[in-house]
Structure 1
Amino acid sequence: MSVVSQPSVERIDVGYAPATVGESPVWRAQEDALYWVDIPAQRIVRQRVALGLRTEWVLPEKVACFAFGCNGGLVAGLETGLFAVALPEPATADGKTPAYARKLAAPQFRVPGTRFNDGRCDRQGRFWSGTMVQDMAAANPAGALFCLDTQGRLSAPVVDQLIVQNGLAWSPDGTTMYLSDSHPQRRLIWAFDYDTETGTPSRRRVFADLHDYAGRPDGAAVDADGCYWICANDAGAVLRFTPQGVLDRRIDLPAVKPAMCAFGGRDLGTLFITSIRPATGATEHDGHVFAVRPGVRGLPEPEYAGVL
């Protein structure tokens, strides 16, 4: 691993209560704002970072991930399926403004207590998201990865036998797809060849095994150099791997359970990181959102190209 100085880490949500499970940060350039979710609170949060202004919307179910639509609205992974979501304005900061949610599609869950987890769009605007059994102690590999295509059709399971699906990301040219399993029994990141025309992943192989490093692989982002940034949950760090799977950066954080990262800011040079608040032993930083300038830039987050 190359020796790089530790950049300063800033908490951006000072003055606000921590999230229980902060996930799915998405930078919205036209609003100069960061969005993210608090899964058990059933909330989508928006913060205009430069102004420190915050608004929240409450959804009818737990919400784990989302992407903006090219023509307005959001597509989101909730407990029972994928939904089209509208966030009405004005909204308040108390989390009492209801969002409008309409179910688009849902798979047949094999196990009760399953919900969607990590998700985002590929470079062509298809929305991908995976499922997990919420009782992590059960270590049930009933989770699977699904694709909602731009015609609104939900695929059959594309990757199955997942315990805690996570880590979705694509290389800058879209031809490599990344996926992780966060469960302590797995701690693996895979890479796939990805057919951008058909949206088909193939040639699955281990990209990184976090048993060899630290923490569990949670949410991820890819920078403009094609390097893969992964939140090392339980290790209080984000790790960067080169496209060859070589660890070359580690940035330590004040929160022990970083959950997902995303590039943003006006130059896409800020890495935002959400975190989870542990049930015991939490510090003042756990469950908050952080910003760091790692010295590289990210890529604009793709939007869903279907009709919502």
Structure 2
Amino acid sequence: MQAELILDARNATGECPVWNAREQALYWVDIPARRLHRWSPQDGTTSSWEAPQMLACVASCGDGSWLAGMEDGLYRVRPQEDGTLATTLLIDVTHPRPTMRFNDGRCDRQGRFWAGTMFMDMGEASVVGSLYRYEGGQIAPLKAHVTDMIVPNGLGFSPDGTTMYLSDSHPSVQKIWAFDYDIDTGTPHHRRLFVDMNQYPGRPDGAAVDADGCYWICGNDEGMIHRFTPEGKLDRSLAVPVKKPSMCAFGGRNLETLFVTSIRPGGDLSDQPLAGGVFALQPGVRGLEEPLFKA
């Protein structure tokens, strides 16, 4: 199966693709560029808006605005005609160290927003990452359930919402866990190893869950997208023409397209000139519509 390049975006760190079903358009971010992007498959047009901080994860609020995890907190952002994002701070976060930011994030099936934080210099392997749940105007660090994180990543929820997935993509960890998830209280428990990615090509990065309940994870550094069954068994692996796919999301009219963002590192890119692009795969399965954030 060949990946189709839909946009030679040249994103430094393309992340968090989200299919907006109402608009039939794909949104994603470029973290260091501080930009939210939009691509319309109907006419091939793209739009871009700049934020005052790095934004790493977004969730649609359903009214044209977005909930965004940025550097120092969670914001409501809204695209403006002048190419900027109007931002309203919803809640700030006191990080344990300077130079931290939010990383991977998404809503659970009930519309609660989940996001992890990380220390920006991954070389330090600083175990200060946290996982947060945001709902009702309150943010809660889930330290009682999720500890010892360096780069929280790979958030996902089963179709019925009763299983939560989370990974740590740092090279020294490279593991994915599953949790039983209480959909009434929004609480994960019974943490267990789901997949040890040290046994497969690539570090675990951003993820998506399909309608069959299978978990798709980007194999960063190895140009692969892996599909694991709910039992943690590798079902298939798909290749993309770049080394660092970063996150995947289902979209398209019937949610049958798997969109993949990627990272464009520095240095010689002669062997991967499309690095930083956005790709589309037709995996033969349907995805799930991304839940809206419920304020």
- Relative to the length of structure 2, the TM-score reads 0.96
Instruction: Give 1:86's aligned residue.
Output: 78
Contact 2:2-2:239 within 8 A present in 1 as well: no
3-state DSSP class of the match of 1:225? coil
Instruction: Give 1:4's aligned residue.
Output: none
Deviations 1:192-217 (A, max 9, x none): 00000000000001100111111100
Task: Give the Å deviation of 1:284.
Answer: 1.3
Task: Determine if the alignment matches structure 1 residue 77 to structure 2 residue 62.
Answer: no
Question: Aligned equivalents of 2:243 and 2:106: distance in 1?
Answer: 24
- The aligned runs of 1:153-172 (5 Å cut-off) are 153-158=138-143, 159-172=146-159
Task: Determine if the alignment matches structure 1 residue 251 to structure 2 residue 238.
Answer: yes
Task: Determine if the alignment matches structure 1 residue 46 to structure 2 residue 35.
Answer: no
- Kindly tell me the number of residue pairs found equivalent between the two proteins: 291
Question: Aligned equivalents of 1:98 and 1:129: distance in 2?
Answer: 23
Question: Aligned equivalents of 1:145 and 1:139: distance in 2?
Answer: 17
3-state DSSP class of the match of 1:155? strand
Percent of residue pairs bearing the same amino acid type: 53
- The aligned runs of 1:62-141 (5 Å cut-off) are 62-88=54-80, 90=81, 97-141=83-127
Instruction: Give 1:152's aligned residue.
Output: 137
Residue type of the alignment partner of 1:260 = M
Task: Give the Å deviation of 1:148.
Answer: 0.4
Residue type of the alignment partner of 1:221 = A
Question: Aligned equivalents of 1:75 and 1:124: distance in 2?
Answer: 15
Deviations 1:12-67 (A, max 9, x none): 014xx400000000001222210000000000000102311000000000010000
Contact 2:72-2:94 within 8 A present in 1 as well: no
Identify unmatched segments of 5+ residues in structure 2.
none
Instruction: Give 2:266's aligned residue.
Output: 279
Contact 2:39-2:47 within 8 A present in 1 as well: yes
3-state DSSP class of the match of 2:247? strand
Deviations 1:167-209 (A, max 9, x none): 0000000000000000000000000000000000000011001
Residue type of the alignment partner of 1:81 = G
Question: Aligned equivalents of 1:271 and 1:162: distance in 2?
Answer: 28
Question: Aligned equivalents of 1:305 and 1:125: distance in 2?
Answer: 5
| Residue from 242, 253, 259 that aligns with 2:229 | 242
Instruction: Give 1:94's aligned residue.
Output: none
- Relative to the length of structure 1, the TM-score reads 0.92
Residue type of the alignment partner of 2:105 = G
Please provide the CA RMSD for this pair.
Answer: 1.1
Deviations 1:265-290 (A, max 9, x none): 00100000000012223221110000
Instruction: Give 1:24's aligned residue.
Output: 16
Residue type of the alignment partner of 1:245 = G
Question: Aligned equivalents of 2:63 and 2:147: distance in 1?
Answer: 31
Task: Give the Å deviation of 1:157.
Answer: 3.4
| Residue from 7, 10, 16 that aligns with 1:13 | 7
Question: Aligned equivalents of 2:239 and 2:223: distance in 1?
Answer: 6
Task: Give the Å deviation of 1:71.
Answer: 4.4
Contact 1:106-1:154 within 8 A present in 2 as well: no
Question: Aligned equivalents of 2:260 and 2:117: distance in 1?
Answer: 22
Task: Give the Å deviation of 1:107.
Answer: 2.3
Task: Determine if the alignment matches structure 1 residue 264 to structure 2 residue 256.
Answer: no
Question: Aligned equivalents of 2:5 and 2:209: distance in 1?
Answer: 22
Task: Determine if the alignment matches structure 1 residue 216 to structure 2 residue 207.
Answer: no
Task: Give the Å deviation of 1:160.
Answer: 2.9
Question: Aligned equivalents of 1:34 and 1:173: distance in 2?
Answer: 24
Question: Aligned equivalents of 2:95 and 2:117: distance in 1?
Answer: 9
Question: Aligned equivalents of 1:147 and 1:22: distance in 2?
Answer: 23
